[in-house]
Homo-oligomer: A and B are copies of this chain.
Amino acid sequence: MTTTAQNQLIAFVRDRFGDKAVTTDTRDIAPWTTDWRDRFHGSAPAILSPASTGEAAAIVAKARELGVPIVPQGGNTSMVGGATPPADGSALILSLRRMNRIRSLSADDNLAVAEAGVVLEVLHNAAIEAGRRFPLTLGAKGSATVGGLVSTNAGGTQVLRHGTMRALVAGVEAVLPDGSVHDGLSALKKDNRGYDLNQLLIGAEGTIGVVTAASLKLVPAVARHAVAWVGLDDPQAALGLLRTLQGASDSIESFEIIPGDSLALVLEHIPDTRSPLAGTHRWHALIEAVTTDADAPAPQDLLETRIAEAIESGTVADAVIAASEAQAEAFWRIRHSLSEAERAAGPAVQHDISVPVADMPRFMVEAAAAAEKRYPGTHATAFGHLGDGNVHFHVRAPADADPDRWYEKEAPGVSRFVNDLVVAAGGSISAEHGIGQMKLHELERLASPARLAALRAIKHALDPAGICNPGKLVALAPNGNAP
């Protein structure tokens, strides 16, 4: 049922910005009211699609005036239900997908200004055409958009060298909850004019404004790269290898850790995959080194020399360096298939967590053992971005359990158990996926009173009516006050 206020907002947008700016057909809306993992199911009577920052600002101002909440949405690839509207249909979706222009791209300045709806892969290609690179990538690159990447401070597999979105954003343009426009696009390398609103908007998940565009930093194009697959005994050896490589060169761009069990699942469930190494190993690392200067020492030589030394010293058991682009891609395909293979093996409670890098090897092993002990029959594994201190920690249902019933019954308890371990290790319960609606209650349970009070105060100060992405990241009471 659409409320009067919602109808007024819909009529306002159609009248001012035309039919293209409004979608009310339920069949067209349906794909955008569920997250891509099919965990969160929302409802929205309309999708509003501004074509410009001015249109977005007018829509937010009107929404504020009418008291209609809006849910900003890009590619709808949130891992935490961050872009799914509430189930009660109280909010409209504000889609940024029509704002998909790359406003400028300067190879000289190493900067691109991209609107919120630009798809990551499109940005990648535009940068490559200009002889540059935008050095952040992730599985959903064909759908994820700039606005969502900024709003979730997205990570991915190149964070080790280039940082998360926060490190790659030079400026932000956003519509604030009162409909005013924050123009922070001017790419100033130094700017100390008070609280950094750009930084505040990065990772804010659309709860205190709608990101409409960003200035993004580009880096030189890749000249040469090399990809290695390594077998080792434990995560501590992997971290030792990483530090050796980083000490020798700043070319290490990815360092992913993969348990032997997870590799086995990929080989079992994903067609056309084969193990890079002949033997079996308890742990594996996937390493990519990249140079931008054709005259620099070849990354292949670096990996060969250092890994050979590591084999000699016993740190590494076995290794292979990709001999072709096809082989390099095959190695990466294994890494990118991990989630799908795990899913094929049954439902797992998933956690995207971080602890200080130095503590991660021990944490991975000890937390997995603790979870399996506390939940007998489960299988706990961690894989991912070892060099960033960030792994995806999965606890899979016991083989003899009805997997769906087990998940429904145990998932909240398992998550609390794992998150408690993370907090005890000084870590974060959301490393790169954000809070969204999935982790809202765990954040409230585990964050320090100081942090929670500050989050609520900021949300209430900037969005007192609670119209921006309600129910995500930090909850306001229905009266708009801190609960």
Residue A272 lies at the interface, judged by CB distance under 8 Å to chain B: no
Q: Given A243-B108, A454-B176, A196–B190 Cβ distance below 8 Å?
A: no
Interface residues on A, range: 35 or more
Q: Given A192-B152, A194-B473, A203-B196, A180–B453 Cβ distance below 8 Å?
A: yes
Who on chain B is nearest to A198 by CB? B199
Interchain CB contact (< 8 A) of A200 among B189, B190, B200, B205: B200
Main DSSP-derived SS at the A contact region: loop
Are B354 and A189 in contact (CB-based, < 8 A)?
yes
A105 — which chain B residues lie within 8 A by C-beta? none
Who on chain B is nearest to A167 by CB? B167
Are A176 and B428 in contact (CB-based, < 8 A)?
no
A426 — which chain B residues lie within 8 A by C-beta? 186
Are A193 and B460 in contact (CB-based, < 8 A)?
no
Are B199 and A199 in contact (CB-based, < 8 A)?
yes
Are A430 and B182 in contact (CB-based, < 8 A)?
no
Are A460 and B461 in contact (CB-based, < 8 A)?
yes
Residue A278 lies at the interface, judged by CB distance under 8 Å to chain B: no
Chain A 125-169 interface mask (CB, 8 Å, partner B; 1/0) = 000000000000000000000000000110100010000101000
Are A193 and B428 in contact (CB-based, < 8 A)?
yes
Residue A252 lies at the interface, judged by CB distance under 8 Å to chain B: no
Q: Given A181-B450, A190-B390, A208-B195, A108–B462 Cβ distance below 8 Å?
A: no
A430 — which chain B residues lie within 8 A by C-beta? 191-193
A121 — which chain B residues lie within 8 A by C-beta? none
Give Cα A8–Cα B199 distance, bound, in whole angstroms.
39
Chain A 385-426 interface mask (CB, 8 Å, partner B; 1/0) = 100111000000000000000000000000000000000001
A406 to chain B, nearest CB (A): 28
> Could you list 5 examples of A-B contacts with CB < 8 Å?
A186-B427, A190-B428, A190-B431, A192-B433, A196-B200
Question: Which 6 A-B pairs rank lowest in CB-CB distance, beginning with the nearest?
Answer: A461-B461, A180-B450, A199-B199, A457-B461, A190-B431, A191-B428
Interface residues of A (CB under 8 A from B): 106, 108-109, 152-153, 155, 159, 164, 166, 176, 178, 180-183, 186-197, 199-200, 202-205, 208, 243, 249, 293, 354-358, 385, 388-390, 426-435, 443, 447-451, 453-455, 457-462, 473-474
